[in-house]
Amino acid sequence: MIPFNKPYLTGREAPNIAEALAARKLSGDGPFTKRCQTMLEALLGSGRAFLTTSCTDALEAAALLCGIQPGDEVIVPSYTFVSTANAFALRGAVIRFADSYADHPNMDPGSVASLITPRTKAIVPVHYAGVACDMHALAALADQNGLFVVEDAAQGIASSYKGQPLGTLGDFGAFSFHETKNIIAGEGGALHVNRADRVLQAEIVREKGTDRSAFFRGEVDKYGWVSLGSSYLPSEMIAAFLLAQLEDIDAIQARRLAAWHRYAEMLEPLARAGAFELPAIPEYATNNAHMFFLLCPDLETRSALLDHLKADGIYATFHYQALRSSPFFIDNAGPETPHADRFSHTLVRLPLFAELGEDDAERIAASVIQFFKS
């Protein structure tokens, strides 16, 4: 069986963790954390990076930094993971669900514009599959209405919008290093702060609402509770693992891209013939090979394709169920999101990970071709 995902190890993770254990510095903000944050800042080219225990925590910290209060409205895509909405719902926000484009799961700025009211406080674009949302259009809406933009760039590491790295285009960006992502730490994430006037506050929010970091720098004679916050710092073992991945990011990306392009090369002719749809990547966006997906004509075809692949020793899967239709939100769902619903019913993700060779990609693509031709 070819798995859907296989976490990639560079070989330096275990020695790094052993070094952290030998140093007896295991809690957050040690030397490995600082090295990771420096590397992320260099990769992103601007702003400040703070490691977190997950992308979910990074989003929750961003909600605090936006000052979300009960009754504020926050616009998120319907087609996303629950963390995107949960982070803001926890602050009492009313969640408004934007629809996707017809040809890509990313949020449609036209749908976003229709949801803005005087109570709207923030827009949360999700860069699905590492492909950028139309950040120019979303930024214009935010500027016109005085809104925060929080990029959910969980899947967006090493990808960009018009040459600018994802996660650096809004007020805040959130990244994931879950084992299913391009760069991993088992669990882990990062909050990227793109506003100089929010960096100190971000540091406080991340440190349980205290000015503890300022105390350690000798800037205050004692630290105390100065803000709402939580414990968002990952341990040094997580950071030690992540550092090995960040140092190997170019090689990891090269492997993933090779498999992605082999899929595209083999499947494009059948897509042009109308058997299924392939991902649409706008000119303003790059492809970081986080995911390779295709869209079946309907739910029945998707179910049959997944069964066919499983019988052929290939584990493929679907993805999100549109949040607008979830049991938790159904009583206050707002306008329908038909494009997001279509992706919930038709999208198939093929295996894609750094150790998936081009031969494996060819075998998987050949099985997809066989299914549709038969």
DSSP run (H or E) holding 88:
helix 82-89
CATH superfamily of the 249-373 domain = Aspartate Aminotransferase, domain 1 (3.90.1150.10)
Burial zone of 147 (CB within 10 Å; 0-12 exposed, 13-18 middle, 19+ buried): buried
Three-state DSSP class for residue 294: strand
The CATH architecture of the domain made up of 13-247 is 3-Layer(aba) Sandwich (3.40)
Beta bridge partners, 73, equal 94, 120
What pLDDT score does 210 carry? 87
The structural domains of the chain, with segments of one domain joined by +, span 13-247, 249-373
3-class DSSP assignment, residue 157: coil
pLDDT in 10s for each residue of the chain, 374 residues: 999 999 999 999 999 999 999 999 999 899 999 999 999 999 999 999 999 999 999 999 999 999 999 999 999 999 999 999 999 999 999 999 999 999 999 999 999 999 999 999 999 999 999 999 999 999 999 999 999 999 999 999 999 999 999 999 999 999 999 999 999 999 999 999 999 999 999 999 999 988 888 777 777 878 888 889 999 999 999 999 999 999 999 999 999 999 999 999 999 999 999 999 998 899 999 999 999 999 999 999 999 999 999 999 999 999 999 999 888 876 666 889 999 999 999 999 999 999 999 999 999 999 999 999 99
DSSP state, residue 221: S
Please answer whether residues 263 and 365 qualify as being in contact, where contact means their C-beta atoms are separated by less than 8 angstroms.
Answer: yes
In the numeric block, which tokens belong to residue 371? 């299914």
Quick check: 160 and 219 in contact, CB under 8 A?
A: no
Does residue 293 contact residue 280 with C-beta atoms inside 8 Å? no
- Cβ atoms of 95 and 48 closer than 8 Å: no
Is residue 130 within 8 A of residue 156, CB to CB? The reply is yes
CA angle 357, 316, 250 (to 5 degrees): 40
Judging by beta carbons within 10 Å of its beta carbon (0-12, 13-18, 19+), is residue 269 exposed, middle or buried?
exposed
For the chain, the C-alpha Rg in angstroms (whole number) is 21
Tell me, what amino acid is at 296? C
Q: What is the pLDDT of residue 102?
A: 95
